[in-house]
Chain A
């Protein structure tokens, strides 16, 4: 018995040791980055490994705000991420409800086609999608043949429209609506309510937690999105914060203080969201694994 208890204690200590070591690996770089962002340039070079600055300064933050229009980029990113949240939550709920609760012909086939597109590597459509957006009729100076202008290239539409209702959003919402009883709709139908009113007044208020989870997941991916905005935006006034930060990294690769300050700013919204709504992050991730 004594032997058993001792073994358990050793295992407990090992567990905490491993956990702390791993947590150190994942969290320490962030702390070190924040520390660096508040150091004076001389100290960054003289004592690079120090976590806490000897002389605390906000010079790096002022520096990056002056070199790049970081506030504008911040705003652009926010508009894009917020638009993505609104369209995905609303259209995702609409379609998810349609697939879960309405009986129409071709429902299963249609859903299966949408679902299989989730496995399609994005690279297949990357090049032609750019062409589709550039040749989009009646947009950005284009005629009905899609000629003459630049279409949606260099506008926020090029990011908002293709991502307005991801398959993930539809699938996520469908699964959630399926857990709600169908009797509610039937009762409302007998009362003579139209299908859209049933969705809007009866079901939509019930999916707030799912909408929160989906909204947060969408915000994070929209905020952190890099490659597609890099491809379709080339007007510096429309850059996102991720593009702005990457340009700063290329142009001022030795100004580590300002670079770390910019990184802190770019990470802030998602970190704040995570602190206040951690539960939804966990649910969202767990869900994405359950779709197999």
Chain B
């Protein structure tokens, strides 16, 4: 490396200009964060107390938006659908991801091939999944009812029936998303020291006992992380409902974010949509806190 005998550098000393340079290095994400996260957060709060249609300037209307939420039937339907989706998806997604990760945490041949094949659905987009599954869910010609017919079961008409449409969305989303969490669990399982299991086997512990007393405590941080991300994600479900059923039939699969999207970008009710967004944020926060409590108590 060449040595420019630059006096200025010397005077600053070895750490002299790190203070300035450090700020310059991290400036881009900090500026982007300020413009596109921090300012919007403040705006969301202000909008939620205003009536705003984007074209005319916002007009403060106090708590009116929040009062309306209390009596907004469509929001209540959307919230009920979203909670239903979350309550079904989060535990199933956790169990499926952990079970497949445990399954793949083996030294048999084919593990890599299976892992690749399990992971395939994560590669495709929400739109690709929805187009594919709209074909799979076709009541007469679809793959799912075709397989069910082989087993002698008369399948429902899935997307056209308001009692099954939400289940259809849950199944599709589970199929498309579980393998990401499976990979996260798999990495955590690989980190559990092998001698824990070996000494437990010597002590006569069976597989179930080893799972409960060694595996579960060892991967607790991962379980907490995955479940938190699942809760945050499922409460904001939009793509699947928008693409697969357009919220229907009736309002059977309209979700909160879908409803906010319609209010904001179809009706241009930015103020009301902001108030709805903040409500959803509080709901997500409460559920995440409950999840944290559950994980803590297990620890003790």
- A→B interface (CB under 8 Å): 12, 15-16, 18-19, 22-23, 25-30, 32-33, 36, 44-45, 48-49, 91-92, 94-95, 97-99, 102-105, 107, 110, 113-114, 117, 119-132, 134, 161-162, 164-167, 169-170, 186, 188-196, 199, 220, 223-224, 226-227, 231, 242-243, 245-246, 249-250, 253, 256, 259-260, 262-263, 266-267, 270-271, 274, 278, 281-282, 285-286, 288-292
Which residue of B21, B29, B188, B270 is within 8 Å of A167 (Cβ)?
A: B29
Minimum distance in angstroms from B134 CB to a CB of chain A: 7
Beyond contacts A91-B29, A291-B225: 18 other A-B pairs, Cβ-Cβ < 8 A, are A22-B118, A29-B175, A48-B146, A49-B141, A105-B19, A124-B40, A126-B277, A127-B47, A132-B36, A164-B32, A165-B28, A191-B3, A249-B131, A253-B134, A260-B135, A263-B127, A263-B131, A292-B225
- The answer, yes or no, to whether B163 is at the interface (CB within 8 Å) is no
Decide yes or no whether B142 CB sits under 8 A from chain A: yes
CA distance A81 to B110 in the complex (A): 33
Q: How far, in whole Å, are A263 and B132 apart by their CA atoms in the complex?
A: 7
The answer to whether residues A98 and B277 also contact, given A131-B43, A192-B6 and a CB cut-off of 8 A, is no
Closest chain B CB from A273 CB (angstroms): 9
A221 to chain B: closest CB distance in Å?
10
Residues of chain A contacted by B114 (CB below 8 angstroms): 19, 22-23
B32 A285 Cβ-Cβ under 8 A? no
Q: C-beta contact mask, B180-206 vs A, less than 8 Å → 1, else 0?
A: 100111111000000000000000000
Interface of B is mostly: helix
Query: Could you tell me which B residues sit within 8 Å of A by CB distance?
Result: 1-6, 9, 14-15, 17-26, 28-30, 32-33, 35-37, 39-41, 43-44, 47, 54, 100, 103, 106, 108, 110, 113-121, 123-128, 130-136, 138, 140-143, 146, 175, 179-180, 183-188, 221-222, 224-226, 228, 232, 235-236, 238-239, 242-243, 246, 257, 260-261, 264-265, 270, 273-274, 277-278, 280-281, 284
| Nearest residue, chain B, Cβ from A113 | B33
**CB < 8 Å: which of A22, A98, A253, A259 contacts B100?**
A22
Per the bound structure, the CA–CA distance linking A192 and B274 in Å amounts to 52
What residues on A are CB-neighbors of B26 within 8 Å? 94-95, 98-99, 107, 110, 170
Total contacts A-B at CB 8 Å: 283
In the complex, which of the residues B106, B132, B138, B281 contacts A124, with contact meaning CB atoms closer than 8 Å?
Answer: B281
- How close is A7's CB to chain B, nearest CB, in angstroms? 12
Q: Is the CB of A289 within 8 A of B232?
A: no
